[in-house]
Amino acid sequence: MKKLQVFLITFFMLLLCVTEAFAAENGTILAKETDGQNLVLYVQSTGDIESVEAQVGTVKASSVDVKLSKNGEVPIDTLILIDNSLSISKKYRPQIIELATNIAANHISNETITVATFSNNINYLVEKSNDYTAVKSAIDGIEFQNQDTYLTDCLYNIFSSLSANPDGIFHRIIVVSDGASEEDLGYTMQEVKDLINKTQYPIYAFGCSGKNNKNELENMFSLSRQTNGKIWKMDDIQSVMDPVKEISLDNDIARISLTLPDDVMDGSEKGVLLSMNIGGQAITSETRMNMPFSEGKQVVEETTVRETEKETRETIEETEAEDEGQMDIMKYIPYIGAAFFAVLLIVAGIVFFVASSKKKAERDKVVPTPEGAGSFGSGLAPSYSTEDEKTVMVDDSYGLQGDRTAMFLSESPVKTLVLEDISNPVRHYEVPLTGKVVIGRSQKGDCQLVIDEKSVSHRHCEIYDMNGELYISDLGSRNGTNVNGARIVGQVKLSLPSSLKLGNNVFKIEVR
Protein backbone atom coordinates (compact mmCIF):
# COMPACT_ATOMS: atom_id res chain seq x y z
CA MET A 1 0.00 0.00 0.00
CA LYS A 2 2.83 2.35 0.88
CA LYS A 3 4.53 1.62 -2.45
CA LEU A 4 1.27 2.41 -4.27
CA GLN A 5 1.02 5.77 -2.46
CA VAL A 6 4.61 6.65 -3.42
CA PHE A 7 3.89 5.70 -7.04
CA LEU A 8 0.73 7.82 -7.19
CA ILE A 9 2.45 10.84 -5.62
CA THR A 10 5.36 10.53 -8.07
CA PHE A 11 2.98 10.12 -11.04
CA PHE A 12 0.94 13.25 -10.21
CA MET A 13 4.12 15.29 -9.64
CA LEU A 14 5.39 14.24 -13.07
CA LEU A 15 1.98 14.98 -14.60
CA LEU A 16 2.04 18.45 -13.05
CA CYS A 17 5.49 19.13 -14.48
CA VAL A 18 4.42 18.00 -17.92
CA THR A 19 1.29 20.18 -17.76
CA GLU A 20 3.26 23.29 -16.74
CA ALA A 21 5.87 22.68 -19.44
CA PHE A 22 3.16 22.31 -22.05
CA ALA A 23 1.38 25.46 -20.89
CA ALA A 24 4.58 27.49 -20.97
CA GLU A 25 5.43 26.50 -24.57
CA ASN A 26 8.85 28.12 -24.48
CA GLY A 27 10.00 29.52 -27.81
CA THR A 28 6.51 29.83 -29.34
CA ILE A 29 6.21 32.93 -31.52
CA LEU A 30 3.13 34.73 -30.22
CA ALA A 31 3.24 37.89 -32.36
CA LYS A 32 5.34 39.55 -35.05
CA GLU A 33 5.53 43.00 -36.58
CA THR A 34 7.74 45.26 -38.68
CA ASP A 35 9.03 48.30 -36.81
CA GLY A 36 10.61 50.62 -39.35
CA GLN A 37 13.53 48.63 -40.77
CA ASN A 38 13.58 46.07 -37.95
CA LEU A 39 11.68 42.81 -37.50
CA VAL A 40 10.13 42.32 -34.05
CA LEU A 41 9.03 38.94 -32.68
CA TYR A 42 7.33 38.29 -29.33
CA VAL A 43 8.35 34.86 -28.05
CA GLN A 44 7.17 32.80 -25.06
CA SER A 45 10.00 32.67 -22.53
CA THR A 46 9.54 31.48 -18.95
CA GLY A 47 13.28 31.55 -18.30
CA ASP A 48 16.21 33.76 -19.18
CA ILE A 49 17.27 33.77 -22.81
CA GLU A 50 20.96 32.95 -22.56
CA SER A 51 21.61 33.27 -26.28
CA VAL A 52 19.73 33.86 -29.53
CA GLU A 53 20.72 33.86 -33.17
CA ALA A 54 18.47 34.85 -36.08
CA GLN A 55 18.62 33.90 -39.73
CA VAL A 56 16.54 35.72 -42.33
CA GLY A 57 16.39 33.82 -45.58
CA THR A 58 19.98 32.63 -45.96
CA VAL A 59 21.53 35.60 -44.15
CA LYS A 60 22.18 36.16 -40.44
CA ALA A 61 20.64 39.21 -38.79
CA SER A 62 23.10 42.07 -38.28
CA SER A 63 22.22 42.31 -34.59
CA VAL A 64 19.67 40.92 -32.14
CA ASP A 65 18.19 42.84 -29.20
CA VAL A 66 16.28 41.00 -26.45
CA LYS A 67 13.97 42.47 -23.81
CA LEU A 68 12.05 40.47 -21.16
CA SER A 69 8.57 41.23 -19.83
CA LYS A 70 9.42 39.84 -16.40
CA ASN A 71 11.99 42.64 -16.08
CA GLY A 72 9.30 45.19 -16.94
CA GLU A 73 10.94 45.86 -20.34
CA VAL A 74 8.00 44.72 -22.50
CA PRO A 75 4.66 46.50 -22.04
CA ILE A 76 1.55 44.34 -22.53
CA ASP A 77 -1.98 45.42 -23.46
CA THR A 78 -4.83 42.92 -23.04
CA LEU A 79 -7.99 43.67 -25.03
CA ILE A 80 -11.14 42.11 -23.55
CA LEU A 81 -13.63 42.03 -26.46
CA ILE A 82 -17.17 41.05 -25.43
CA ASP A 83 -20.15 40.16 -27.61
CA ASN A 84 -23.00 41.93 -25.79
CA SER A 85 -25.81 40.94 -28.15
CA LEU A 86 -28.98 39.25 -26.96
CA SER A 87 -27.88 36.07 -28.78
CA ILE A 88 -25.63 35.42 -25.76
CA SER A 89 -27.71 33.28 -23.43
CA LYS A 90 -28.65 34.85 -20.09
CA LYS A 91 -27.00 31.97 -18.23
CA TYR A 92 -23.57 33.05 -19.53
CA ARG A 93 -23.81 36.78 -18.83
CA PRO A 94 -22.89 36.81 -15.09
CA GLN A 95 -20.08 34.36 -15.85
CA ILE A 96 -18.75 36.63 -18.63
CA ILE A 97 -18.69 39.67 -16.31
CA GLU A 98 -16.95 37.63 -13.60
CA LEU A 99 -14.38 36.31 -16.10
CA ALA A 100 -13.56 39.78 -17.45
CA THR A 101 -13.33 41.23 -13.94
CA ASN A 102 -10.85 38.55 -12.78
CA ILE A 103 -8.70 38.90 -15.91
CA ALA A 104 -8.42 42.62 -15.19
CA ALA A 105 -7.73 42.04 -11.49
CA ASN A 106 -4.93 39.59 -12.35
CA HIS A 107 -2.98 42.07 -14.51
CA ILE A 108 0.73 42.55 -13.88
CA SER A 109 2.60 45.82 -13.32
CA ASN A 110 3.63 46.33 -16.97
CA GLU A 111 0.18 45.37 -18.32
CA THR A 112 -2.72 47.63 -19.29
CA ILE A 113 -6.33 46.58 -19.93
CA THR A 114 -8.61 47.63 -22.79
CA VAL A 115 -12.32 46.74 -22.63
CA ALA A 116 -14.66 46.87 -25.62
CA THR A 117 -17.97 45.49 -26.83
CA PHE A 118 -18.78 44.92 -30.47
CA SER A 119 -21.67 44.76 -32.92
CA ASN A 120 -20.96 45.90 -36.48
CA ASN A 121 -18.32 48.23 -34.98
CA ILE A 122 -16.11 48.16 -31.92
CA ASN A 123 -17.22 50.21 -28.91
CA TYR A 124 -14.22 50.94 -26.67
CA LEU A 125 -15.25 51.42 -23.01
CA VAL A 126 -11.77 51.95 -21.56
CA GLU A 127 -8.39 51.88 -23.34
CA LYS A 128 -4.91 50.90 -22.11
CA SER A 129 -5.69 51.49 -18.46
CA ASN A 130 -3.95 50.11 -15.38
CA ASP A 131 -6.60 51.63 -13.11
CA TYR A 132 -8.50 48.57 -11.90
CA THR A 133 -11.37 50.64 -10.50
CA ALA A 134 -12.00 52.29 -13.89
CA VAL A 135 -11.74 48.98 -15.71
CA LYS A 136 -14.11 47.21 -13.30
CA SER A 137 -16.61 50.04 -13.61
CA ALA A 138 -16.56 49.72 -17.40
CA ILE A 139 -17.08 45.95 -17.20
CA ASP A 140 -19.93 46.24 -14.68
CA GLY A 141 -21.65 48.76 -16.95
CA ILE A 142 -21.91 46.40 -19.94
CA GLU A 143 -25.49 45.87 -21.09
CA PHE A 144 -26.67 43.21 -23.54
CA GLN A 145 -28.59 44.63 -26.50
CA ASN A 146 -30.63 43.59 -29.50
CA GLN A 147 -28.03 43.91 -32.27
CA ASP A 148 -26.15 42.02 -34.97
CA THR A 149 -22.51 41.19 -34.35
CA TYR A 150 -19.75 40.84 -36.94
CA LEU A 151 -16.73 39.29 -35.26
CA THR A 152 -14.75 38.64 -38.46
CA ASP A 153 -15.03 42.30 -39.52
CA CYS A 154 -14.05 43.56 -36.06
CA LEU A 155 -11.04 41.24 -35.82
CA TYR A 156 -9.93 42.25 -39.31
CA ASN A 157 -10.06 45.94 -38.35
CA ILE A 158 -8.19 45.29 -35.07
CA PHE A 159 -5.38 43.35 -36.75
CA SER A 160 -5.20 45.85 -39.61
CA SER A 161 -4.80 48.75 -37.18
CA LEU A 162 -2.17 46.96 -35.05
CA SER A 163 -0.20 45.98 -38.14
CA ALA A 164 -0.22 49.52 -39.55
CA ASN A 165 0.72 51.16 -36.22
CA PRO A 166 3.40 49.14 -34.37
CA ASP A 167 3.90 50.66 -30.92
CA GLY A 168 6.36 48.34 -29.15
CA ILE A 169 3.54 46.80 -27.07
CA PHE A 170 2.70 43.11 -26.94
CA HIS A 171 -1.02 42.97 -27.74
CA ARG A 172 -3.27 40.03 -26.95
CA ILE A 173 -7.00 39.69 -27.52
CA ILE A 174 -9.56 37.91 -25.33
CA VAL A 175 -12.82 37.30 -27.21
CA VAL A 176 -16.09 36.19 -25.63
CA SER A 177 -18.70 35.41 -28.28
CA ASP A 178 -21.05 32.83 -29.73
CA GLY A 179 -18.91 32.50 -32.85
CA ALA A 180 -17.76 34.01 -36.14
CA SER A 181 -19.61 33.83 -39.43
CA GLU A 182 -19.11 35.20 -42.93
CA GLU A 183 -21.51 38.01 -43.82
CA ASP A 184 -22.53 38.94 -47.36
CA LEU A 185 -20.86 42.35 -47.23
CA GLY A 186 -18.12 41.59 -44.72
CA TYR A 187 -14.63 40.13 -44.74
CA THR A 188 -14.34 36.42 -45.39
CA MET A 189 -12.71 34.00 -42.99
CA GLN A 190 -9.87 33.52 -45.47
CA GLU A 191 -9.21 37.27 -45.60
CA VAL A 192 -9.06 37.42 -41.80
CA LYS A 193 -6.74 34.39 -41.66
CA ASP A 194 -4.44 35.89 -44.31
CA LEU A 195 -4.12 39.10 -42.29
CA ILE A 196 -3.63 37.22 -39.01
CA ASN A 197 -0.83 35.24 -40.62
CA LYS A 198 1.11 38.46 -41.18
CA THR A 199 0.87 39.70 -37.58
CA GLN A 200 -0.35 36.84 -35.37
CA TYR A 201 -1.33 38.59 -32.13
CA PRO A 202 -2.72 35.81 -29.88
CA ILE A 203 -6.48 35.36 -29.53
CA TYR A 204 -7.90 33.68 -26.41
CA ALA A 205 -11.43 32.61 -27.38
CA PHE A 206 -14.33 31.85 -25.02
CA GLY A 207 -17.28 30.25 -26.84
CA CYS A 208 -20.92 30.50 -25.77
CA SER A 209 -23.18 27.75 -27.07
CA GLY A 210 -26.46 28.68 -28.74
CA LYS A 211 -28.95 27.46 -31.30
CA ASN A 212 -27.20 25.89 -34.28
CA ASN A 213 -23.94 27.83 -33.80
CA LYS A 214 -21.53 24.89 -33.92
CA ASN A 215 -19.92 26.05 -37.17
CA GLU A 216 -19.64 29.64 -35.95
CA LEU A 217 -17.86 28.49 -32.78
CA GLU A 218 -15.46 26.36 -34.81
CA ASN A 219 -14.69 29.35 -37.04
CA MET A 220 -13.80 31.44 -33.99
CA PHE A 221 -11.71 28.66 -32.43
CA SER A 222 -9.82 28.13 -35.70
CA LEU A 223 -8.77 31.80 -35.68
CA SER A 224 -7.52 31.38 -32.12
CA ARG A 225 -5.53 28.24 -32.96
CA GLN A 226 -3.89 30.03 -35.88
CA THR A 227 -2.50 32.65 -33.47
CA ASN A 228 -1.18 30.10 -30.95
CA GLY A 229 -3.90 31.27 -28.56
CA LYS A 230 -6.13 29.16 -26.34
CA ILE A 231 -9.81 28.19 -26.51
CA TRP A 232 -12.51 27.41 -23.94
CA LYS A 233 -16.21 26.57 -24.03
CA MET A 234 -18.07 28.46 -21.32
CA ASP A 235 -20.04 25.31 -20.49
CA ASP A 236 -16.80 23.49 -19.58
CA ILE A 237 -15.47 26.13 -17.15
CA GLN A 238 -15.95 25.11 -13.53
CA SER A 239 -14.17 28.16 -12.13
CA VAL A 240 -13.31 31.33 -14.06
CA MET A 241 -9.96 31.39 -12.26
CA ASP A 242 -8.82 28.33 -14.22
CA PRO A 243 -8.59 30.13 -17.61
CA VAL A 244 -7.38 33.30 -15.85
CA LYS A 245 -4.39 31.37 -14.52
CA GLU A 246 -3.73 29.82 -17.94
CA ILE A 247 -3.69 33.24 -19.59
CA SER A 248 -1.30 34.52 -16.93
CA LEU A 249 1.20 31.79 -17.93
CA ASP A 250 1.72 33.77 -21.12
CA ASN A 251 2.82 36.88 -19.22
CA ASP A 252 6.45 35.78 -19.55
CA ILE A 253 7.50 36.83 -23.03
CA ALA A 254 10.59 38.14 -24.77
CA ARG A 255 10.66 40.91 -27.36
CA ILE A 256 13.31 40.03 -29.94
CA SER A 257 14.23 42.81 -32.37
CA LEU A 258 16.27 41.93 -35.46
CA THR A 259 18.38 44.45 -37.37
CA LEU A 260 18.58 43.36 -40.99
CA PRO A 261 21.41 43.62 -43.52
CA ASP A 262 20.57 45.75 -46.57
CA ASP A 263 20.65 42.85 -49.04
CA VAL A 264 17.53 41.20 -47.54
CA MET A 265 15.45 44.39 -47.29
CA ASP A 266 13.69 44.06 -50.62
CA GLY A 267 10.00 43.92 -49.63
CA SER A 268 9.66 40.19 -50.30
CA GLU A 269 8.48 37.46 -47.92
CA LYS A 270 11.30 35.48 -46.31
CA GLY A 271 11.65 32.78 -43.69
CA VAL A 272 12.87 33.81 -40.21
CA LEU A 273 14.64 31.20 -38.04
CA LEU A 274 15.37 31.81 -34.34
CA SER A 275 17.87 29.59 -32.52
CA MET A 276 17.55 30.21 -28.77
CA ASN A 277 18.83 28.91 -25.47
CA ILE A 278 16.08 29.47 -22.91
CA GLY A 279 16.89 28.39 -19.38
CA GLY A 280 19.50 25.95 -20.67
CA GLN A 281 17.16 24.44 -23.28
CA ALA A 282 18.01 24.71 -26.99
CA ILE A 283 14.91 25.78 -28.94
CA THR A 284 14.35 26.73 -32.58
CA SER A 285 11.32 28.59 -33.89
CA GLU A 286 10.52 29.72 -37.38
CA THR A 287 7.99 31.86 -39.22
CA ARG A 288 7.66 33.91 -42.41
CA MET A 289 7.59 37.72 -42.59
CA ASN A 290 7.48 40.47 -45.20
CA MET A 291 10.77 42.33 -45.37
CA PRO A 292 10.88 46.13 -45.12
CA PHE A 293 12.71 48.24 -47.71
CA SER A 294 16.07 49.79 -46.91
CA GLU A 295 16.26 53.59 -46.91
CA GLY A 296 18.39 53.58 -50.06
CA LYS A 297 15.89 51.41 -51.94
CA GLN A 298 13.04 53.60 -50.79
CA VAL A 299 14.80 56.71 -52.10
CA VAL A 300 15.54 54.97 -55.43
CA GLU A 301 11.93 53.81 -55.73
CA GLU A 302 10.56 57.27 -54.90
CA THR A 303 12.96 58.89 -57.40
CA THR A 304 11.95 56.36 -60.06
CA VAL A 305 8.27 57.04 -59.39
CA ARG A 306 8.83 60.80 -59.61
CA GLU A 307 10.84 60.47 -62.84
CA THR A 308 8.19 58.18 -64.33
CA GLU A 309 5.46 60.63 -63.38
CA LYS A 310 7.51 63.52 -64.86
CA GLU A 311 8.06 61.62 -68.11
CA THR A 312 4.34 60.77 -68.22
CA ARG A 313 3.40 64.43 -67.71
CA GLU A 314 5.86 65.57 -70.40
CA THR A 315 4.50 62.97 -72.83
CA ILE A 316 0.94 64.08 -72.09
CA GLU A 317 1.88 67.75 -72.51
CA GLU A 318 3.61 67.06 -75.85
CA THR A 319 0.59 65.08 -77.05
CA GLU A 320 -1.76 67.84 -75.93
CA ALA A 321 0.41 70.46 -77.71
CA GLU A 322 0.29 68.42 -80.92
CA ASP A 323 -3.46 67.99 -80.58
CA GLU A 324 -3.89 71.73 -79.98
CA GLY A 325 -1.81 72.50 -83.10
CA GLN A 326 -3.95 70.18 -85.14
CA MET A 327 -7.10 71.73 -83.68
CA ASP A 328 -5.84 75.23 -84.57
CA ILE A 329 -5.44 74.14 -88.19
CA MET A 330 -8.75 72.28 -88.22
CA LYS A 331 -10.78 75.23 -86.95
CA TYR A 332 -9.69 77.40 -89.93
CA ILE A 333 -10.56 74.80 -92.56
CA PRO A 334 -14.20 76.03 -92.96
CA TYR A 335 -13.00 79.58 -93.60
CA ILE A 336 -10.31 78.50 -96.03
CA GLY A 337 -12.96 76.50 -97.90
CA ALA A 338 -15.30 79.50 -97.88
CA ALA A 339 -12.55 81.76 -99.22
CA PHE A 340 -11.75 79.25 -101.95
CA PHE A 341 -15.44 79.14 -102.89
CA ALA A 342 -15.56 82.95 -102.98
CA VAL A 343 -12.55 83.03 -105.27
CA LEU A 344 -14.27 80.58 -107.61
CA LEU A 345 -17.35 82.81 -107.70
CA ILE A 346 -15.28 85.88 -108.46
CA VAL A 347 -13.31 84.11 -111.20
CA ALA A 348 -16.57 82.82 -112.70
CA GLY A 349 -17.96 86.35 -112.57
CA ILE A 350 -14.92 87.75 -114.33
CA VAL A 351 -15.14 85.08 -117.04
CA PHE A 352 -18.85 85.76 -117.48
CA PHE A 353 -18.31 89.51 -117.61
CA VAL A 354 -15.47 89.24 -120.15
CA ALA A 355 -17.50 86.92 -122.33
CA SER A 356 -20.51 89.26 -122.18
CA SER A 357 -18.39 92.28 -122.99
CA LYS A 358 -16.81 90.49 -125.93
CA LYS A 359 -20.21 89.60 -127.38
CA LYS A 360 -21.44 93.18 -126.89
CA ALA A 361 -18.30 94.57 -128.55
CA GLU A 362 -18.78 92.32 -131.50
CA ARG A 363 -22.44 93.33 -131.65
CA ASP A 364 -21.96 97.05 -131.13
CA LYS A 365 -18.40 97.14 -132.34
CA VAL A 366 -17.48 99.33 -129.39
CA VAL A 367 -14.12 98.87 -127.64
CA PRO A 368 -14.68 98.26 -123.88
CA THR A 369 -12.90 100.33 -121.29
CA PRO A 370 -10.76 98.59 -118.63
CA GLU A 371 -12.56 100.34 -115.78
CA GLY A 372 -15.02 97.54 -115.24
CA ALA A 373 -12.27 95.02 -114.82
CA GLY A 374 -10.46 97.21 -112.43
CA SER A 375 -13.36 97.28 -110.01
CA PHE A 376 -12.54 93.88 -108.62
CA GLY A 377 -9.17 94.85 -107.13
CA SER A 378 -7.68 92.60 -104.37
CA GLY A 379 -9.08 91.08 -101.17
CA LEU A 380 -10.17 87.70 -102.40
CA ALA A 381 -9.47 85.95 -99.14
CA PRO A 382 -11.60 86.40 -95.98
CA SER A 383 -10.07 88.55 -93.27
CA TYR A 384 -10.15 87.51 -89.63
CA SER A 385 -8.83 88.81 -86.37
CA THR A 386 -6.14 86.85 -84.56
CA GLU A 387 -5.87 89.10 -81.51
CA ASP A 388 -7.86 86.53 -79.55
CA GLU A 389 -7.18 83.00 -80.73
CA LYS A 390 -10.39 81.83 -79.13
CA THR A 391 -12.62 84.02 -81.40
CA VAL A 392 -12.61 84.09 -85.21
CA MET A 393 -14.38 86.99 -87.00
CA VAL A 394 -15.81 86.07 -90.42
CA ASP A 395 -17.16 88.60 -93.00
CA ASP A 396 -20.26 87.04 -94.61
CA SER A 397 -19.67 89.11 -97.80
CA TYR A 398 -17.56 86.17 -98.89
CA GLY A 399 -20.47 83.80 -99.12
CA LEU A 400 -20.61 82.25 -95.58
CA GLN A 401 -24.04 81.50 -94.17
CA GLY A 402 -25.28 82.00 -90.61
CA ASP A 403 -23.82 84.16 -87.85
CA ARG A 404 -20.98 86.50 -88.63
CA THR A 405 -18.97 85.41 -85.57
CA ALA A 406 -17.90 81.83 -84.68
CA MET A 407 -17.09 81.62 -80.97
CA PHE A 408 -14.57 79.12 -79.52
CA LEU A 409 -14.81 79.70 -75.76
CA SER A 410 -12.18 78.38 -73.35
CA GLU A 411 -13.17 76.92 -69.96
CA SER A 412 -11.13 76.59 -66.78
CA PRO A 413 -9.70 73.02 -66.53
CA VAL A 414 -11.65 70.55 -64.36
CA LYS A 415 -9.67 68.22 -62.07
CA THR A 416 -10.29 64.50 -62.41
CA LEU A 417 -10.34 62.09 -59.46
CA VAL A 418 -8.68 58.80 -60.43
CA LEU A 419 -8.88 55.49 -58.48
CA GLU A 420 -6.60 52.73 -59.78
CA ASP A 421 -6.83 49.17 -58.43
CA ILE A 422 -3.37 48.38 -57.01
CA SER A 423 -3.69 44.65 -57.73
CA ASN A 424 -5.14 45.22 -61.21
CA PRO A 425 -4.12 48.60 -62.70
CA VAL A 426 -6.32 47.96 -65.76
CA ARG A 427 -9.31 48.44 -63.46
CA HIS A 428 -9.61 52.12 -62.71
CA TYR A 429 -12.25 54.77 -62.21
CA GLU A 430 -12.26 58.44 -63.26
CA VAL A 431 -14.76 61.13 -62.31
CA PRO A 432 -14.67 64.95 -62.51
CA LEU A 433 -13.83 66.50 -59.13
CA THR A 434 -16.63 69.04 -59.04
CA GLY A 435 -18.18 69.47 -55.61
CA LYS A 436 -18.33 66.36 -53.42
CA VAL A 437 -17.65 62.99 -55.04
CA VAL A 438 -19.60 60.29 -53.20
CA ILE A 439 -18.13 56.80 -53.64
CA GLY A 440 -20.20 53.70 -53.00
CA ARG A 441 -22.19 50.80 -54.37
CA SER A 442 -25.49 52.61 -54.94
CA GLN A 443 -26.83 52.38 -58.49
CA LYS A 444 -29.65 54.87 -57.87
CA GLY A 445 -27.73 58.05 -58.65
CA ASP A 446 -26.63 58.73 -55.06
CA CYS A 447 -22.99 58.09 -55.93
CA GLN A 448 -20.83 59.86 -58.47
CA LEU A 449 -18.36 56.95 -58.47
CA VAL A 450 -19.94 53.49 -58.31
CA ILE A 451 -17.96 50.40 -57.23
CA ASP A 452 -20.33 47.47 -57.62
CA GLU A 453 -18.93 45.08 -55.00
CA LYS A 454 -20.61 43.69 -51.90
CA SER A 455 -17.79 44.71 -49.56
CA VAL A 456 -18.41 48.37 -50.46
CA SER A 457 -21.25 50.16 -48.67
CA HIS A 458 -24.05 51.87 -50.61
CA ARG A 459 -22.61 55.27 -49.63
CA HIS A 460 -19.09 54.46 -48.44
CA CYS A 461 -17.13 57.74 -48.38
CA GLU A 462 -16.86 61.15 -50.03
CA ILE A 463 -13.89 63.11 -51.42
CA TYR A 464 -13.97 66.85 -51.95
CA ASP A 465 -11.80 69.89 -52.59
CA MET A 466 -11.81 72.53 -49.85
CA ASN A 467 -9.70 75.67 -50.20
CA GLY A 468 -7.40 73.97 -52.66
CA GLU A 469 -6.84 70.94 -50.39
CA LEU A 470 -8.29 67.46 -50.87
CA TYR A 471 -10.28 65.88 -48.02
CA ILE A 472 -11.99 62.52 -47.43
CA SER A 473 -14.74 61.54 -44.98
CA ASP A 474 -16.28 58.16 -44.19
CA LEU A 475 -20.08 58.08 -44.56
CA GLY A 476 -20.72 55.51 -41.84
CA SER A 477 -19.61 52.59 -43.98
CA ARG A 478 -19.80 49.13 -42.52
CA ASN A 479 -16.18 48.12 -43.22
CA GLY A 480 -14.71 51.57 -42.70
CA THR A 481 -12.47 53.66 -44.97
CA ASN A 482 -8.72 53.14 -44.71
CA VAL A 483 -6.14 55.62 -46.05
CA ASN A 484 -2.54 54.36 -46.22
CA GLY A 485 -3.46 51.40 -44.00
CA ALA A 486 -5.13 53.40 -41.21
CA ARG A 487 -8.87 53.67 -40.63
CA ILE A 488 -10.08 57.26 -40.82
CA VAL A 489 -12.40 58.97 -38.36
CA GLY A 490 -14.13 62.20 -39.33
CA GLN A 491 -12.67 64.53 -41.94
CA VAL A 492 -9.10 63.69 -43.03
CA LYS A 493 -6.80 65.66 -45.34
CA LEU A 494 -5.42 63.62 -48.26
CA SER A 495 -1.84 63.77 -49.47
CA LEU A 496 -1.36 62.40 -52.96
CA PRO A 497 -0.73 59.80 -54.10
CA SER A 498 -2.28 57.68 -51.31
CA SER A 499 -3.72 54.20 -50.97
CA LEU A 500 -7.46 53.95 -50.33
CA LYS A 501 -9.07 50.75 -48.99
CA LEU A 502 -12.81 50.37 -49.50
CA GLY A 503 -14.14 47.01 -48.36
CA ASN A 504 -11.96 44.37 -50.03
CA ASN A 505 -10.56 46.80 -52.61
CA VAL A 506 -7.31 48.78 -52.41
CA PHE A 507 -6.87 51.69 -54.80
CA LYS A 508 -4.18 54.22 -55.60
CA ILE A 509 -5.83 57.62 -55.47
CA GLU A 510 -4.68 60.53 -57.63
CA VAL A 511 -6.00 63.80 -59.00
CA ARG A 512 -5.18 64.83 -62.55
Instruction: Tell me the H-state helices in 251-388.
Output: 295-364, 371-374
Domain count, the chain: 2
Chosen domain end from 273, 294, 315:
294
Q: Which pLDDT score, from 0 to 100, does residue 318 have?
A: 53
Residue 462 belongs to domain spanning? 416-511
Does residue 409 lie within any of the structural domains? no
Does residue 71 lie within any of the structural domains? yes
Find out whether 281 and 77 touch, Cβ atoms under 8 Å: no
Does residue 449 lie within any of the structural domains? yes
Chosen domain end from 247, 265, 294:
294
Q: Which pLDDT score, from 0 to 100, does residue 126 have?
A: 95
Q: Which pLDDT score, from 0 to 100, does residue 52 have?
A: 93
Helices (H) and strands (E) in the chain, counts: 9, 27
Does residue 358 lie within any of the structural domains? no
Q: Which pLDDT score, from 0 to 100, does residue 164 have?
A: 82
Are 120 and 255 part of one and the same domain?
Answer: yes
Name the residue among 374, 166, 358 with its Cα closest to residue 255: 166
Q: Which pLDDT score, from 0 to 100, does residue 488 have?
A: 82
Rounded to the nearest angstrom, the gap between the alpha carbon of residue 481 and the centroid of all alpha carbons in its chain is: 8
CATH number of the domain that residue 84 is part of: 3.40.50.410
Find out whether 418 and 509 touch, Cβ atoms under 8 Å: yes
Does residue 378 lie within any of the structural domains? no
Q: Which pLDDT score, from 0 to 100, does residue 385 have?
A: 38
CATH number of the domain that residue 425 is part of: 2.60.200.20
**From the CB of residue 322, how many other CB atoms can be counted at a distance below 10 Å?**
10
Does residue 262 lie within any of the structural domains? yes
Q: Give per-residue pLDDT as tens, 464-509.
A: 988 888 999 988 887 888 888 778 877 888 888 888 999 888 899 9
Does residue 280 lie within any of the structural domains? yes
Which residues in the chain show pLDDT less than 50? 1-2, 4, 6-24, 297-305, 308, 312, 360-410
Name the residue among 453, 452, 469, 471 with its Cα closest to residue 461: 471
**From the CB of residue 416, how many other CB atoms can be counted at a distance below 10 Å?**
13
Sequence-distant (≥ 6) Cβ neighbours of residue 288 within 8 angstroms: 269, 270, 271, 272
- Per DSSP, 507 falls in state E
Are 83 and 225 part of one and the same domain?
Answer: yes
**From the CB of residue 425, how many other CB atoms can be counted at a distance below 10 Å?**
9
Find out whether 53 and 47 touch, Cβ atoms under 8 Å: no
Q: Which pLDDT score, from 0 to 100, does residue 273 have?
A: 92
Chosen domain end from 237, 262, 294:
294
Sequence-distant (≥ 6) Cβ neighbours of residue 310 within 8 angstroms: none
Q: Which pLDDT score, from 0 to 100, does residue 404 have?
A: 41
Q: How far apart are CA 212 and CA 256, in angstroms?
A: 43
Name the residue among 156, 60, 497 with its Cα closest to residue 308: 497
Does residue 187 lie within any of the structural domains? yes
